Amino acid sequence: MLVVMDKTATAEQIDQVVKVIEGQGCTARPIPGGDRVSIGVLNNKGPVDAALFVGLPGVKEAVPITKPYKLVSRETKAEDTLIQVGEVTIGNGHLTLIAGPCAIENETQALTIAGHVKKAGAHLFRGGAFKPRTSPYSFQGLGEEGLKILARVRENFGLPVVTEVMDFQTFDLVEHYADVVQIGTRNMQNFSLLKRAGESYRPILLKRGMAATIDEWLMAAEYIMAQGNHQVILCERGVRTFVHHSRNTLDLSAVPVVKKESHLPIVVDPSHAAGRRDQVLPLSRAAVAANAHGLMVEVHHQPEKALSDGAQSLFPEQFDLLCRQVMAIFKVCGEDEPF
């Protein structure tokens, strides 16, 4: 249930609705909108009676929510969510380019790549300090040292940084250094991590689980929002299929589907979808033509020496070309159809 208040509703009238909701043993979650406040009813065990609200002063209407996800849904909030990261706005009307290496390997590597991607037009820098690797013998990331290098990238280039958090224990540390905290595909249904992300003061970039349906992915976002953090950026990064020509299969249909279902921004990671460099540029062009709000791309100045994901990392010159092409496509296709 969503209680939509009049544009002129007073703070007392909103408070009164909150009390009625709490009186039913439910949680009230006020959601500020463009010109009015709506109040989501959460934690209800069964259907809530709209009659409880319709006669109250300041209430415009009480709308039942038909989706399992509520805060994430356009039924709850019709306008697109815009997320501010420093001077960068992520969401409808903007094309945000996030680029950098898979992993932070050392300071020279990070600063060299950051210099290239900034010059090409990237808005945010990415790089893992804690790496989820399939093999325990592979490079696991530099940990806190990697986070400190990311902070130096931000200082030197003015680029906000995105980096992955792998577990609850290191959340405080990662959130201290990161401008955007990433939750990777393998952790999309790590519910205690999602709850902690929901308490974070940082925006969360939530990757789609490699075997997750769109509903499961949106429910994962709901976990974060239900704890009070409404700054969630969804990231499509490919799902497991039977093919051998790429690491995963980029599900670009997720972009229009998510945009219809949810007000949250959605970006696309073609690098982890493809797993190989030669597919990254065409997939990036397609993602922008499909009206994704941004791209997250792996770039390395010496991919043959990269400690992780070298095969899918673009050379800096390839990233230059990508930026030029996707910005041109965005000019033509960037205007979204109204929902």
List residues near ligand PEP by CB under 6 A.
102, 128, 132, 164, 184-185, 207, 237, 269, 272
Q: Specify the residue, 9 or 150, whose C-beta has the smaller distance to ligand PEP.
A: 150
Touching Mn ion, residues 86-125 (CB under 5 A): 102
What does 76 bind: ligand PEP, Mn ion, none (CB cut-off 5 to 8 Å by kind)? none
Tokens of 281: 């540029």
Residue 102 C-beta: closest distance to ligand PEP, Å: 5
Tokens of 152: 């130096």
Q: Specify the residue, 162 or 329, whose C-beta has the smaller distance to ligand PEP.
A: 162
Residue 310 C-beta: closest distance to ligand PEP, Å: 13
Q: Would you give the DSSP letter of residue 81?
A: P
Q: Specify the residue, 70 or 237, whose C-beta has the smaller distance to ligand PEP.
A: 237
Q: Under DSSP, is residue 215 helix (H, G, I), strand (E, B) or coil?
A: helix
| Among 333, 182, 338, residue whose Cα is nearest residue 263 | 338
* CA 174 – CA 167 distance, rounded (Å): 10
| 309 is a site residue for Mn ion (CB under 5 A) | yes
Q: What are the backbone angles phi and psi of residue 198, rounded to the nearest 5°?
A: -70, -20
- Give the total of residues touching Mn ion (CB under 5 A): 2
Residue 128 C-beta: closest distance to ligand PEP, Å: 5
**Do the Cβ atoms of 291 and 254 come closer than 8 Å?**
no
Q: Specify the residue, 7 or 240, whose C-beta has the smaller distance to ligand PEP.
A: 240
Give one DSSP letter per residue of 153-205, joined into a string. HHHHH---EEEE---STTHHHHHHH-SEEEE-GGGTT-HHHHHHHHT-SS-EE
Tokens of 95: 């094309």
Residue 131 C-beta: closest distance to ligand PEP, Å: 7
Place of tokens 């405080």: 172
Residue nearest to ligand PEP (CB): 184
What does 184 bind: Mn ion, ligand PEP, none (CB cut-off 5 to 8 Å by kind)? ligand PEP
Residue 258 CB partners (closer than 8 Å, separation 6+): 214, 217, 218, 234, 236, 264, 266
Residue 238 C-beta: closest distance to ligand PEP, Å: 8
| 274 is a site residue for Mn ion (CB under 5 A) | no
| Among 33, 121, 149, residue whose Cα is nearest residue 82 | 33
What does 237 bind: Mn ion, ligand PEP, none (CB cut-off 5 to 8 Å by kind)? ligand PEP
What does 123 bind: ligand PEP, Mn ion, none (CB cut-off 5 to 8 Å by kind)? none
Q: Specify the residue, 237 or 259, whose C-beta has the smaller distance to ligand PEP.
A: 237
* CA 310 – CA 124 distance, rounded (Å): 20
- For 196, other C-beta atoms within 10 Å of its C-beta total 22
Residue 318 C-beta: closest distance to Mn ion, Å: 16
Residue 207 C-beta: closest distance to ligand PEP, Å: 4
Q: Specify the residue, 105 or 309, whose C-beta has the smaller distance to Mn ion.
A: 309
List contacts with Mn ion (CB under 5 A). 102, 309
